[in-house]
Amino acid sequence: MSLSFKGHTVVVTGAGGGLGKAYSLAFASRGANVVVNDFNGEAAQKVVDEIVKAGGKAVVNTSSVTDGDAVIKTAVDNFGTVTILINNAGILRDRGFKNMSDKEWDQITEVHLHGAFACTKAAWPIFRKQKFGRVINTASAAGIYGECAHFFGNFGQANYSAAKMGLIGFTKTLAREGAKYNIKSSVIAPMAASAMTETIMPAEMLKQMSPEYVAPFVLSLCHPDAPDASGKLFELGAGWIAEVRWERSDGAIFKTDASFTPSAVKQRWSEVIDFGKPSYPNAVTDVDSVGKLEAAKKLPSNPQATPEVRFDGQTVIITGAGAGLGRAYALMYAKLGANVVINDVSEKGAAGVVDEITKAGGKAAAAVCSAEDGEKIVAVALEKFGGVHILIANAGILRDKSFQSMSKAEWDAVIAVHLRGTYKCAKAVWPIFQKQKYGRIVNTCSQVGIYGNFGQVNYSTAKAAIIGLTKTLAIEGKKYGIIANVIAPSAGTAMTSTVWPQEMVDAFKPDFVAPVVGYLTSKDNTETSGCIFEISGGWAAQTRWQRTAGHGFPHDSVYTPEDVVAKWKDITTFDSRSTHPVGSNETMEHIWTSSSSVAFTMVNFKDPNAFADPEDSKIVADAKKHVEPPVEYNYTERDIILYNLGVGATEKELQWTFEGHEDFAALPTFGVIPQFPCSTGLPMDWLPNYNPAKLLHGEQYLKIHAPIPESGSLVNEARILEALDKGKAAAITTIVETRDKSSGKLIFENQSTVFIRGAGGFGGRRQGKDRGAASSANELPKRNPDAVVEERTAESQAALYRLSGDYNPLHIQPEFAAIGGFDKPILHGLCSMGISAKHVLKTYGPYKDIKVRFAGVVYPGETIITEMWKEGTKVIFRVKVKERNLVALAAAAVTLADDTTKAKL
């Protein structure tokens, strides 16, 4: 199949450079007429010239995207119609949330949201009439995850994250509204090199991150013969493409009576966030709310956590609290000891709730104004109660209309109250929360924002945008003790009564949502932040992203739209390889891997040929095909302490040996431990003359991808990466990826080489391939070491260390050691590594990867000398055994953590 766009007219906004230019050239090269929109007329003209020179047809349009009519008119005037609209124009106004100005917020909303609305709105009637239309909206990893990859060195994108996530909601509703008219809308989160990234990316990667690697996919989404991708979200870059969808936990159902309290929610919180039985909803109707409410009614009273969740002395601001959900929250907080600020535009409504609370002996004050007047509301809290600890942004309105007939005023009103109102309130409490290093925020989304809904394009966009905003707040607030979550509640309120039947309005009481909000904003919630919860009638569940493993096209040439169609299944199949990314770093890693010949992370462990090498002998090729089933590793603080002690941490170093210390943490080399149950399971008996007593640890590489949790469940996957025939010996390298069990987030990558004496002679490769940072070849600088640390190991060091998971008898049993050729048991290689890495950590601070070669044996009781040389971001080191003046660790180095990683490690 060849995908031609002859007869199509494509409008590309922001097409003077970057992605927009790449789209324009690609469409034109396949026969489409192109309107190259850019406010920079010169840049747009250059693109048009290039197209025309190549024999294509294109015209310039320099209107602002907010003047969608003018943009689309250029298409109609020049080519008679428009069939495809690529909403690509965008700007950045990055700023930490505290310092973000309203102007910076509004400018982003204006271009991304109002711009996409205006252009799509102008094209829509034409699409409907001709019964064909394609819309591509441009989101970003920043929108999906609330942050841009730290690779780009970027923090401070609350405005951009909100707008980009808003466009995902926008697309989902457009897809529903257009279905009947063959109008399909998809949304992409592309990663491509730009002026901004040029300074920090290696040249090879820059080439592969070019917009040319994004454009073919966009073409494939727009072609009439391509697979249907309407309403779908894709992440892509450097030739790697994956689909992203929502995944929801089964959640917990609570008895809907007086025992449904924040304490009851606390008691069963682990059930709410348990993804053991996930579902993949696609629409607001994909939940049996009535069934759940019925089930809730039949339950016995809810068990309560002790001590009770309370809010004594805390002040809560609730917007839109004059009725409905806001009122229910207010009554609950007041009952549990909080001072409550009741914000509402209705004076009567606010006064009524204040009265109700005061009469019941509680404390409340009214703030009668729009939610957009965040400062005024906060001023009331400060004046009446002297502070603020919790913000519930709840105010909202509906202006439902089909997209075709929605007016700009209806669009603007909903975006203003929901999105800008939420922003303004969060902005007003932020400096207070930052200063007091405490704050809780619950923002209000809706299932309509998550899944899209017919007739609510304004509402779904605003609500989705609130998800993006909240995720950024969670990220930026973390170091200040600020926790922010977003809820999608369904309850019978004045607002829903306009769209729900009365019996549902009566049944789904706002009181059945409030306790979850209470728990989320309590002191008791110290972990859950940046998450989305769907709540209705006693049921609460968490909703998160799930992403396919996707497909990475090879980089020898740019892939084509036809290639995309051929690989559609790989791109869009959700299976056991799918992940639950929570940050854009994971996207970056994926892209980085797919575009780098030396990185091995994120390999497809299920692909038996993942490490196939034409130079391998048959026996090696077969061994590499072995796929070990994933193995779990569960641990607690106790395991961390045991490990830390095993590598010489002392009772004086409480951050490593006392779980109550405020900086309690695992030493970074703990990262080699969780893989043990998995990597040691890989069969080695295919090697000739294999004798486990002759096995020595040869090399180790550890990369730490994410902060090490203090406890948890991790899942390991292991494969043989390389098998070298060293003649007399075999050098076998395994690769293990260790992920967080619930989020799927990559935490560690290990590459371990074992040297098995007497097991060579099986043929094939003798020298290893370049494994990038994992390769061992560090020349020692020709100067004296910059730092030296000495530490005597204990006679019992190996006996203690082995309890962390390496039970090899070589380290404890004299007879076994004798078979291995040693007079007495030897120290674990990884124990020596852990001790010396601790020296590096104490001298130079945290690092994000480490590699060593075990060059000589260390015996327990001997003294380790770590010599260090700082070379830029690397610390090269060598370990000697003092008593025998022998090198034990050679070719050793760490890469120091940059500032961003440091904050996270």
- The catalytic site residues sit at 160, 164, 459
What is the DSSP annotation of 789-832? EEEEPPTTHHHHHGGGS---GGGT-HHHHHHTT-SS----HHHH
Residue nearest to ligand HDC (CB): 698
Q: Please, what is the minimum distance in Å from the beta carbon of residue 851 to ligand HDC?
A: 11
Distance CA 376, CA 428 (A): 9
Q: What is the token pair recorded at 799?
A: 């006996």
Residue 35 identity: V
854 binds ligand HDC (CB under 6 A): yes
Taking only Cα atoms into account, the Rg of the chain, rounded to an integer number of angstroms, comes to 30
Nearer to ligand HDC, 705 or 853 (CB): 853
Closer residue to ligand HDC in complex, CB, 267/753? 753
759 touches ligand HDC (CB under 6 A) = no
CB 533 within 8 Å of CB 540: yes
**Alpha-carbon gap, residue 51 to 84, rounded angstroms:** 18
Contact between 856 and ligand HDC per CB under 6 A: yes
Is 809 a binding residue for ligand HDC by CB under 6 A? The answer is no
Beta strands in 77-214 (DSSP E): 84-87, 133-138, 183-190
Give the separation between CA 336 and CA 378, rounded to whole angstroms: 21
Residue ranges with strand state E in 139-270: 183-190, 233-237, 240-248, 252-253
Is there binding between residue 719 and ligand HDC (CB under 6 A)?
Answer: no
Nearest to 632 by CA among 577, 677, 670, 680: 677
Least distance in angstroms from the C-beta of 855 to ligand HDC: 5
Contact between 188 and 136 (Cβ < 8 Å): yes
Distance CA 346, CA 352 (A): 10
Nearer residue to ligand HDC within complex by CB, 406 or 672: 672
Query: In what helix (H) or strand (E) does residue 895 lie, and over which residues does it extend?
Result: strand 886-896
Burial class (CB in 10 A: 0-12, 13-18, 19+), 335: middle
Q: Does 334 bind ligand HDC (CB under 6 A)?
A: no
Complex with ligand HDC: residue 497 or 680, whichever CB lies closer: 680
Biggest distance spanned by C-alpha atoms of the chain: 90
What is the nearest approach in angstroms of ligand HDC to the Cβ of residue 701? 11
Which window, 32-40, 351-359, 485-493, 824-832, contacts ligand HDC (CB under 6 A)?
Answer: 824-832
Cα–Cα distance list, 229 to 27, 181, 221, 244, 402 (Å): 18, 15, 7, 12, 21
Mark 15-44 with x for binding to ligand HDC (rule: CB under 6 A) and - for no binding.
Answer: ------------------------------
**What count of other Cβ atoms lies within 10 Å of the Cβ of residue 33?**
25
Minimum CB distance to ligand HDC smaller for 168 or for 817: 817
Q: Which is nearer to ligand HDC, 504 or 684 (CB)?
A: 684
Residues 369-398 interacting with ligand HDC (rule: CB under 6 A): none
Query: Residue from 767, 777, 779, 885 that binds ligand HDC (CB under 6 A)?
Result: 767
Nearer to ligand HDC, 317 or 892 (CB): 892
In whole angstroms, the minimum distance from the beta carbon of 687 to ligand HDC comes to 14
Contacting range for ligand HDC; rule: CB under 6 A; set: 109-117, 235-243, 464-472, 802-810: 802-810
753 binding ligand HDC? (CB under 6 A)? yes
| Count of alpha carbons within 13 angstroms of residue 92, beta-carbon side | 15
Least spacing, CB of residue 679 vs ligand HDC, in Å:
4
How many Å apart are CA 347 and CA 382, to the nearest integer?
A: 20
Number of residues in contact with ligand HDC, rule: CB under 6 A? 27
Select from 4-12, 479-487, 490-498, 826-834 the region that touches ligand HDC (CB under 6 A).
Answer: 826-834
Reported in sequence order, the residue ranges of 494-616 that DSSP labels E, i.e. its strands, are: 532-536, 539-547, 551-552
Find the part of the chain contacting ligand HDC (CB under 6 A) among 256-264, 414-422, 654-662, 849-857. Answer: 849-857
Instruction: Tell me the C-alpha distance between 776 and 849, whole Å.
Output: 13
Q: Are 243 and 187 in contact (CB under 8 A)?
A: no
Rounded to an integer, what distance in angstroms lies between the CA atom of residue 483 and that of residue 471?
10
Amino acid identity at 550: G
Residue 758 interacting with ligand HDC (CB under 6 A): no
Assess 853 for contact with ligand HDC (CB under 6 A).
yes
**Region near ligand HDC per CB under 6 A, out of 41-49, 110-118, 493-501, 848-856:** 848-856
Q: How far is the CB of 708 from ligand HDC (least distance, A)?
A: 17
755 binds ligand HDC (CB under 6 A): yes
Which CB atom, from 485 or from 751, has the smaller least distance to ligand HDC? 751
Distance CA 791, CA 883 (A): 12
Residue 855 in the binding site for ligand HDC (CB under 6 A) = yes
Report the residue number, 139 or 729, with the smaller CB distance to ligand HDC: 729
Containing 264, the helix (H) or strand (E) segment is helix 262-267
Show the DSSP H helices in 573-668 as ranges. 584-595, 618-625, 637-646, 654-657
Tokens of 664: 């309690």
Question: Which positions from 698 through 717 interact with ligand HDC, judged by CB under 6 A?
Answer: 698-699
In the complex, the smallest distance separating the C-beta of residue 769 from ligand HDC, rounded to whole angstroms, is: 13
Strand, coil or helix: 5: coil
Piece of the chain touching ligand HDC by CB under 6 A; list 170-178, 415-423, 530-538, 752-760: 752-760
Which CB atom, from 587 or from 679, has the smaller least distance to ligand HDC?
A: 679
Contacting residues for 862 by C-beta, under 8 A, at least 6 apart: 792, 793, 827, 881, 882, 883, 884
**Subset of residues 669 to 698 that bind ligand HDC, contact rule: CB under 6 A:** 675-676, 679, 696-698
Residue 726 lies near ligand HDC (rule: CB under 6 A): yes
Using CB under 6 A as the binding rule, whether residue 880 contacts ligand HDC is answered as no
754 is a contact residue toward ligand HDC (CB under 6 A): yes
The 3-state DSSP class for residue 611 equals coil
Q: Taking the complex as a whole, how short is the minimal distance between the CB of residue 767 and ligand HDC, in angstroms?
A: 6
Does 731 contact ligand HDC by CB under 6 A? yes
Whether the CB-CB separation of 162 and 466 falls below 8 Å is answered with: yes
The DSSP symbol for 76 reads H
Instruction: Using CB under 6 A, pick the residue from 134, 705, 828, 878 that binds ligand HDC.
Output: 828
Of 578-586, 589-597, 748-756, 790-798: span binding ligand HDC (CB under 6 A): 748-756
Q: Applying CB under 6 A, which part among 76-84, 261-269, 295-303, 821-829 lies near ligand HDC?
A: 821-829
CA-to-CA separations, 320 to 416, 463, 533, in angstroms, rounded: 14, 15, 20
In the complex, the smallest distance separating the C-beta of residue 810 from ligand HDC, rounded to whole angstroms, is 6
| Residue 253 β-bridge partners | 539
**Residue 857 in the binding site for ligand HDC (CB under 6 A):** yes
Shortest spacing between CB 752 and ligand HDC, in angstroms: 3
Residue ranges binding ligand HDC (CB under 6 A): 675-676, 679, 696-699, 726, 729, 731, 752-755, 766-767, 806, 808, 810, 826, 828-829, 853-857
